[in-house]
Amino acid sequence: MNDYPDRPLIGVGVVVFKGDRVLLVRRGKPPRRGQWSLPGGRQRLGETVRAAAAREVAEEAGLTIEVTALLDVVDSMTRDEDGSLAYHYTLVDFLAEWRAGVAAAGGDAAEVAWADPDHLAPYDLWDETLRVIALARP
């Protein structure tokens, strides 16, 4: 189902590190179904963006995290085959550290992986995702 929004929706993305590995999720629902990305999703009414980041990681990967820093704000726009804007998200991307839990797919995620940030090519990530991960690295 496409949103065909009348305004951008606010979402969060989270670059979660556990040691030298970064958490990735394979999307189980549109937009980007089947694609690897950062964990994240829509902010709920009355929820802070930091709380949304922690909730989304818990729902999609079963992990408890500590949100440590704001990384960037990214626009994600997806057009349908006719060129109409099907999705428009303003994504607030955070850096976070793993605190507890074993990564397991849940919620909107079909699969999860702890990836080596130096070898992300097999995941075929969106350019903006690669850029935000690079921003998060020391």
Determine phi and psi for 85, rounding to 5 degrees: -75, 110
Residue type, 45: L
Taking alpha carbons only, the member of 74, 75, 78, 82 closest to residue 30 is 78
Q: Catalytic site residue 81?
A: no
Distance of CA 9 to the CA centre of its chain: 14
| C-alpha to C-alpha distances, 48 to 4, 74, 136, nearest whole angstrom | 24, 17, 21
d(Cα 5, Cα 78) in Å, to the nearest integer? Answer: 11
Query: Coil, strand or helix: which one is 81?
Result: coil
Catalytic residue IDs: 111
